[in-house]
Structure 1
Amino acid sequence: MTDVFVPEEFEGPRELTGDGFRLEPLGPQHNDSDLAAWTSSIHHIRGTTGFEKWSWPPLDGMSAEDNLADLTRHAQDFVDRTGFTFTVLDPTTDEVIGCV
Structure 2
Amino acid sequence: MSEKQSADPMHGMTLEKILQALVEHFGWPELGRRIAIRCFNHEPSIKSSLVFLRRTPWARSQVEALFVEMKTRPQRPAAKDERPRLFVPKPR
TM-score (norm 2): 0.35
TM-score (norm 1): 0.33
Greater relative contact order, per chain length (Cα 8 Å cut-off, separation 6+): 1
